[in-house]
Amino acid sequence: MPVIYTFEAKSIQSYILDSSQLRDMVGASEQIENLTRRLLDKVLQALNLEKGKDIQFSRRAGGAFIAILNTLSEAKKLRDLWTFTVRYCLPGLEFVQGLTEDTDILVALKAANQQKSTDQNRLFPVFPIAGPLVARGPRTGEPAVTEKPNPNNGGTERLDKRTALRREYLHQAQLGTGLVIENKLELTTASATRLVWPQNLNEDENQPDEQHFPTLGNNHYIAVIHADGNGLGELLIDVREDITNVPQHYVDVFSALSDTLEKATIAATRQAAQKVLVPKAQLRHDAQGKALQVMPARPLILNGDNLTIIVRGDLAIPFTQQFLDAFERHSEESLTKLNKFFGKIQLKLRLPKSLTACAGIAFVKSSQPFDLAYGLADSLCQTAKKQSKQSRSADGRVPSSLAFHRITTNMIDDYDTICQRELCTQAGWMLSMQPYAVGSVNTAPDTKAKRLPSLQDLEALRRLLADEKISLGATRELLNLLHLSPMQAQRTFRRWRENMLKMPWDKYREFESLLKKMVVESDKELPILSAKDKRTPLADAIAWNSVARGGEV
């Protein structure tokens, strides 16, 4: 009788980003990458469980796995040892699990998932528990377990257990075969110099053989990007229904689907990084005088259909656009091969032509907390996914899209709160048209679905506004007046339009043409707004120019 044991790490991004030092985030990222790889392999080896014979996996990626075992006793031993191992090696990581058996593997899987949902309500204490006389780590506030030399100031530094394990894990990985994410991407450069990923945000935090994050001159904006696939839940439900009558194919189908998904995500990230990030790598020399190129980014999560990466501000939107485009293409190639493979064994699955994804980009300064920045990026991603679902194509596919926001205040809230507090005027006008569509899936003109504005059109608009022949000061003033006085904003716009039309160059006509493409039906009194929902892309274009300044703008 098959036994299902399912495990899933929760709040992975929060676990990785809860440190103020990039080095510790990288160490936590490496822990998560190896969670269902080397660490799980060691547990299986300790229990003498042979893969393919004693245990099979229908999913094993992204900090989660679904294991199928032969006996209940073996499954319980795995659960007990694995739970102890995770809590010891990754203290503070939240996870849920479920274990059940049934003659029908799909019934067992459903029951295990229900147990996993119930397990979310269970709280686990994190040891050691801090008493009143316990010293704490200054960076995290958690109980200190060791004191290490600090090469940056010549003194010592108290470390909590979580931070100490992260740094040890990072050190061991660097001594061995290297970091998993870096090895996944396999980036290349035309020159003989090697590519290096940064491990610190500031130069004064560098330790021997470490490089800090390269910024663009005085532009210190860094982007936290989070991308997530669309419609994966619906896809898994459809495939599960397709194999209801042939449960013997469950492991093969879902393991192949899981591998296909992760390979598409890795290939898309590799392509985007190779095209956008590698050419902008900064040439430096190490302590021995050897030349190296430091990447203007640091990937933190790359598994399943998830990507979380920190990128230099001016490169964030081009990188994300390339990733979303590439994800569609690579997923289409992989799903086509998968369909052909299962077609040979007369197994018909409802697989889509391709997969799409949405992304959120939070632009922050390097001194701002990254866990809050990730929260905003995730909120932006959810906004993009929600709007994209309302803009399906004629064949029901969800288009790729991205949403972004530049933090200009001391508070970092979710995007809905930001819209109400910063982007919505007293008249109810919205100074944004987020999200923006990317990729080849377009809303059909004959459907009732809402059409998303194109990122390509926004880029053309922001380049036009960056032109010296366009008065950027006037457009900024116009945005301020939209907040303060709608009537004065209308008068200012008419005056600006009259002045622009008097100029020998025809920039206003180009501006008007772009607005018509993005706004579709514009307001008669104030054409920069849409007539129906009173939204404008001007603030988005200006924000993009602000984070891109110092680059090509």
Residue 443's pLDDT is: 63
C-alpha dihedral, 513 to 519 to 523 to 526, nearest 10°: -60
**Contacts (Cβ under 8 Å, ≥6 apart) of 375:** 412, 414
Beta pairing partners, 284: 292
Encode the chain (553 residues) as per-residue pLDDT tens digits: 789 999 999 989 889 988 878 999 999 999 999 999 999 999 999 999 999 899 999 999 889 999 999 999 999 999 999 999 999 999 989 999 999 998 888 888 889 988 888 887 777 778 888 888 889 988 888 899 998 887 777 788 899 999 999 999 898 888 888 899 999 998 988 776 789 999 888 777 767 678 889 988 777 899 999 999 998 888 988 998 888 888 888 898 999 999 999 999 999 999 999 999 999 999 988 878 888 999 999 999 998 899 999 999 999 999 999 999 999 999 999 999 998 888 888 888 888 989 999 999 999 988 788 888 999 999 999 999 999 999 888 888 899 999 999 998 877 888 989 988 888 888 888 999 999 999 888 765 555 557 899 999 999 999 988 887 776 677 888 888 888 888 888 888 888 888 888 877 778 888 888 888 888 778 877 888 887 888 999 999 999 999 988 544 4
DSSP string, 486-524: HHHHHHHHHHHHHHHHHSSS-HHHHHHHHHHHHHSSB-S
Query: Is the bond leading into 537 cis (omega within 30 degrees of zero)?
Result: no
Which helix (H) or strand (E) is 111 found in, with range? helix 105-119
Could you tell me the strand order of the sheet in which 55-61 lies?
Answer: 55-61, 64-69, 3-10, 94-101
Q: Which of the following CATH numbers is that of domain 1-177: 2.60.40, 1.20.58, 3.40.50, 3.30.70?
A: 3.30.70
Model pTM above 0.85: yes
